[in-house]
Amino acid sequence: MIDVREKWDNIYQGRENSQPGKGDKVLCENTHLLPKSGNALEIACGLGANALVLADSGLQTDAWDISPVAIEQLQAIAIEKGLPLKGEARDVMLRPPAPESYDVIVVSHFLERDLATHIIAALRADGLLLYQTFTRIQVSNSGPKNEAFRLAENELLEMYSSLKILVYREEGHVGDVTKGFRDEALLVAQKK
Ligand SMILES: C[S@@+](CC[C@H](N)C(=O)[O-])C[C@H]1O[C@@H](n2cnc3c(N)ncnc32)[C@H](O)[C@@H]1O
Protein backbone atom coordinates (compact mmCIF):
# COMPACT_ATOMS: atom_id res chain seq x y z
CA MET A 1 0.00 0.00 0.00
CA ILE A 2 1.27 3.44 -0.96
CA ASP A 3 2.13 5.60 2.06
CA VAL A 4 1.33 9.28 2.59
CA ARG A 5 4.79 10.52 1.73
CA GLU A 6 4.94 8.51 -1.49
CA LYS A 7 1.47 9.67 -2.50
CA TRP A 8 2.38 13.35 -2.13
CA ASP A 9 5.84 12.90 -3.66
CA ASN A 10 4.17 11.46 -6.77
CA ILE A 11 1.75 14.39 -6.92
CA TYR A 12 4.53 17.01 -6.66
CA GLN A 13 6.82 15.08 -9.00
CA GLY A 14 4.09 15.26 -11.62
CA ARG A 15 3.90 19.01 -11.14
CA GLU A 16 7.65 19.59 -11.51
CA ASN A 17 8.44 23.20 -12.46
CA SER A 18 5.03 24.36 -11.25
CA GLN A 19 5.04 27.57 -9.22
CA PRO A 20 3.66 27.76 -5.68
CA GLY A 21 0.91 30.33 -6.32
CA LYS A 22 0.06 33.50 -4.42
CA GLY A 23 -0.68 32.42 -0.87
CA ASP A 24 -4.07 31.81 0.69
CA LYS A 25 -6.76 34.35 1.52
CA VAL A 26 -6.32 33.83 5.27
CA LEU A 27 -2.77 35.14 4.98
CA CYS A 28 -2.89 37.51 2.02
CA GLU A 29 -5.85 39.48 3.41
CA ASN A 30 -4.35 39.67 6.90
CA THR A 31 -0.65 40.42 6.42
CA HIS A 32 -1.23 43.67 8.36
CA LEU A 33 -1.67 41.53 11.51
CA LEU A 34 1.77 39.92 11.24
CA PRO A 35 4.52 40.99 13.66
CA LYS A 36 7.36 43.09 12.18
CA SER A 37 9.94 40.53 13.29
CA GLY A 38 10.08 37.02 14.72
CA ASN A 39 9.74 33.55 13.29
CA ALA A 40 7.01 31.72 11.44
CA LEU A 41 6.12 28.16 10.51
CA GLU A 42 3.97 26.83 7.67
CA ILE A 43 2.76 23.31 8.49
CA ALA A 44 2.13 20.88 5.62
CA CYS A 45 3.23 23.65 3.29
CA GLY A 46 3.24 21.76 -0.02
CA LEU A 47 4.95 24.11 -2.48
CA GLY A 48 4.93 26.72 0.27
CA ALA A 49 3.05 29.68 -1.20
CA ASN A 50 2.23 30.94 2.31
CA ALA A 51 5.75 30.31 3.59
CA LEU A 52 7.11 32.50 0.77
CA VAL A 53 4.70 35.32 1.76
CA LEU A 54 5.78 34.99 5.42
CA ALA A 55 9.48 35.07 4.52
CA ASP A 56 8.92 37.97 2.14
CA SER A 57 7.34 39.91 5.01
CA GLY A 58 10.65 39.61 6.92
CA LEU A 59 9.84 36.71 9.24
CA GLN A 60 12.41 33.94 9.66
CA THR A 61 10.32 31.14 8.20
CA ASP A 62 10.33 27.37 8.53
CA ALA A 63 8.29 25.33 6.06
CA TRP A 64 7.52 21.70 6.80
CA ASP A 65 5.97 19.04 4.64
CA ILE A 66 6.15 15.25 4.56
CA SER A 67 7.10 15.38 0.87
CA PRO A 68 10.83 15.91 0.20
CA VAL A 69 9.95 16.58 -3.45
CA ALA A 70 7.77 19.58 -2.50
CA ILE A 71 10.36 20.88 -0.02
CA GLU A 72 13.14 20.65 -2.60
CA GLN A 73 11.11 22.70 -5.10
CA LEU A 74 10.21 25.29 -2.45
CA GLN A 75 13.78 25.61 -1.15
CA ALA A 76 15.07 26.24 -4.69
CA ILE A 77 12.59 29.11 -5.13
CA ALA A 78 13.44 30.61 -1.72
CA ILE A 79 17.17 30.52 -2.52
CA GLU A 80 16.58 32.11 -5.93
CA LYS A 81 14.57 34.92 -4.28
CA GLY A 82 17.04 35.29 -1.39
CA LEU A 83 14.32 34.76 1.24
CA PRO A 84 14.88 33.74 4.90
CA LEU A 85 13.15 30.35 4.52
CA LYS A 86 14.23 26.91 5.67
CA GLY A 87 12.34 23.96 4.26
CA GLU A 88 12.26 20.63 6.04
CA ALA A 89 10.85 17.26 4.96
CA ARG A 90 9.10 16.29 8.19
CA ASP A 91 6.11 14.25 9.33
CA VAL A 92 4.36 16.77 11.59
CA MET A 93 2.29 14.08 13.28
CA LEU A 94 5.44 12.25 14.42
CA ARG A 95 7.41 15.45 15.06
CA PRO A 96 5.07 18.33 15.86
CA PRO A 97 6.47 21.80 16.65
CA ALA A 98 8.00 22.30 20.11
CA PRO A 99 6.11 24.32 22.77
CA GLU A 100 6.49 28.12 22.58
CA SER A 101 8.66 28.01 19.47
CA TYR A 102 6.86 30.26 16.93
CA ASP A 103 5.40 33.77 16.64
CA VAL A 104 3.24 32.83 13.64
CA ILE A 105 1.89 29.47 12.42
CA VAL A 106 0.04 29.02 9.13
CA VAL A 107 -1.88 25.91 8.05
CA SER A 108 -3.84 25.59 4.83
CA HIS A 109 -5.70 22.65 3.35
CA PHE A 110 -4.45 20.22 5.96
CA LEU A 111 -6.66 18.89 8.73
CA GLU A 112 -5.27 16.61 11.43
CA ARG A 113 -7.37 17.24 14.51
CA ASP A 114 -4.79 15.71 16.89
CA LEU A 115 -2.35 18.46 15.93
CA ALA A 116 -4.46 21.27 17.43
CA THR A 117 -3.08 20.99 20.97
CA HIS A 118 0.49 20.98 19.61
CA ILE A 119 -0.21 24.04 17.45
CA ILE A 120 -1.64 25.99 20.38
CA ALA A 121 1.30 24.98 22.60
CA ALA A 122 3.80 25.88 19.87
CA LEU A 123 2.69 29.52 19.72
CA ARG A 124 4.51 32.04 21.90
CA ALA A 125 2.50 34.57 23.91
CA ASP A 126 0.80 36.98 21.45
CA GLY A 127 1.59 34.52 18.65
CA LEU A 128 -0.78 34.24 15.70
CA LEU A 129 -2.42 31.21 14.10
CA LEU A 130 -3.72 31.59 10.53
CA TYR A 131 -5.71 28.56 9.37
CA GLN A 132 -7.76 27.92 6.25
CA THR A 133 -9.23 24.66 5.03
CA PHE A 134 -12.18 22.93 3.41
CA THR A 135 -15.64 22.62 4.96
CA ARG A 136 -18.16 19.80 4.56
CA ILE A 137 -20.68 22.34 3.28
CA GLN A 138 -19.51 23.03 -0.23
CA VAL A 139 -20.64 24.85 -3.33
CA SER A 140 -18.08 23.49 -5.78
CA ASN A 141 -16.26 20.15 -6.05
CA SER A 142 -12.97 21.49 -4.75
CA GLY A 143 -11.04 19.76 -1.97
CA PRO A 144 -10.97 16.23 -0.58
CA LYS A 145 -13.86 13.81 -1.15
CA ASN A 146 -13.34 12.20 2.25
CA GLU A 147 -15.50 14.09 4.78
CA ALA A 148 -13.02 13.30 7.55
CA PHE A 149 -10.64 15.79 5.92
CA ARG A 150 -13.28 18.55 5.86
CA LEU A 151 -14.50 20.73 8.71
CA ALA A 152 -17.93 20.42 10.28
CA GLU A 153 -19.85 23.66 10.88
CA ASN A 154 -17.96 25.94 13.28
CA GLU A 155 -15.41 23.21 13.88
CA LEU A 156 -12.33 25.37 13.26
CA LEU A 157 -13.74 28.03 15.58
CA GLU A 158 -14.37 25.49 18.33
CA MET A 159 -11.02 23.75 17.87
CA TYR A 160 -9.18 27.00 18.58
CA SER A 161 -11.62 28.60 21.02
CA SER A 162 -8.91 28.87 23.70
CA LEU A 163 -7.24 31.52 21.52
CA LYS A 164 -8.50 35.07 20.97
CA ILE A 165 -10.34 35.01 17.64
CA LEU A 166 -9.42 37.98 15.43
CA VAL A 167 -11.00 36.86 12.16
CA TYR A 168 -13.41 34.02 11.34
CA ARG A 169 -15.17 33.39 8.07
CA GLU A 170 -17.37 30.47 7.07
CA GLU A 171 -20.23 31.30 4.70
CA GLY A 172 -21.63 27.86 3.90
CA HIS A 173 -24.71 28.16 1.66
CA VAL A 174 -25.92 31.51 2.99
CA GLY A 175 -27.10 34.12 0.45
CA ASP A 176 -25.81 34.33 -3.12
CA VAL A 177 -23.50 31.32 -3.36
CA THR A 178 -22.00 32.59 -6.61
CA LYS A 179 -20.28 35.23 -4.49
CA GLY A 180 -18.20 35.33 -1.32
CA PHE A 181 -15.89 32.84 0.33
CA ARG A 182 -17.25 29.32 -0.19
CA ASP A 183 -16.16 25.71 0.40
CA GLU A 184 -13.72 26.69 3.15
CA ALA A 185 -13.44 28.30 6.58
CA LEU A 186 -10.69 30.62 7.71
CA LEU A 187 -9.50 31.74 11.09
CA VAL A 188 -6.92 34.14 12.49
CA ALA A 189 -6.42 33.86 16.24
CA GLN A 190 -3.96 35.06 18.85
CA LYS A 191 -2.54 33.25 21.89
CA LYS A 192 -2.87 35.49 24.96
C1 LIG B 1 -3.77 19.37 0.24
S2 LIG B 1 -2.03 19.58 0.41
C3 LIG B 1 -1.93 21.27 0.93
C4 LIG B 1 -0.61 21.89 0.66
C5 LIG B 1 -0.56 23.39 0.96
N6 LIG B 1 -0.78 23.68 2.36
C7 LIG B 1 -1.59 24.10 0.11
O8 LIG B 1 -2.61 24.57 0.63
O9 LIG B 1 -1.35 24.16 -1.13
C10 LIG B 1 -1.70 18.67 1.90
C11 LIG B 1 -0.20 18.65 2.22
O12 LIG B 1 -0.02 18.00 3.48
C13 LIG B 1 1.20 17.27 3.42
N14 LIG B 1 1.15 16.26 4.49
C15 LIG B 1 0.31 15.21 4.59
N16 LIG B 1 0.55 14.54 5.74
C17 LIG B 1 1.58 15.18 6.37
C18 LIG B 1 2.28 14.96 7.57
N19 LIG B 1 1.97 13.94 8.40
N20 LIG B 1 3.28 15.81 7.89
C21 LIG B 1 3.61 16.83 7.08
N22 LIG B 1 2.97 17.10 5.91
C23 LIG B 1 1.96 16.29 5.57
C24 LIG B 1 1.23 16.73 2.00
O25 LIG B 1 2.50 16.36 1.58
C26 LIG B 1 0.65 17.92 1.22
O27 LIG B 1 1.68 18.76 0.76
Q: Pick from 7, 8, 12, 150 the residue to mutate for probing ligand 1's pocket: most ligand atoms within 8 Å of its CB.
A: 8
Instruction: Identify the CA nearest to 118 among candidates 191, 24, 46, 37.
Output: 191
**Cα dihedral 108→111→117→122 (10° resolution):** -30
pTM: 0.97
> What is 4-190's CATH number?
3.40.50.150
Torsion 51-56-61-67 (CA) sign: positive
Residue nearest to atom 17 of ligand 1 (CA): 66
Among protein residues, the one with the nearest Cα to ligand 1's atom 18 is 91
Question: Which amino acid residue places its CA nearest to atom 4 of ligand 1?
Answer: 46
Q: E strand or H helix at 56, and its extent?
A: helix 49-56
Query: 33 and 166 in contact (C-beta within 8 Å)?
Result: yes
Give the ligand 1 atom nearest the CA of 45. Answer: 6
Q: How far does the centroid of ligand 1 lie from the alpha carbon of residue 45, in Å?
A: 6
Nearest to 190 by CA among 124, 146, 140, 133: 124
- Ligand 1 center to 110 CA (angstroms): 6
Which of 42, 47, 65, 109 has most ligand 1 atoms within 8 Å of its beta carbon, as the pocket-test mutant? 65
pLDDT per residue, tens digit, the chain (192 aa), is 679 999 999 999 988 667 888 999 999 999 999 999 999 999 999 999 999 999 999 999 999 999 999 999 999 999 999 999 999 999 999 999 999 999 999 999 999 999 999 999 999 999 999 999 999 999 999 999 999 999 999 999 999 999 999 999 999 999 999 999 999 999 999 999
Ligand 1 atom at minimum distance from 94 CA: 19
Buried/exposed code over 102-128 (b: 16+ C-beta within 10 A; e: otherwise): bbbbbbbebbeeebbebbbebbbeebb
Q: Which residues does a 6 A CB cutoff place in the pocket of ligand 1?
A: 4, 8, 44-46, 64-67, 70, 91-93, 108-110
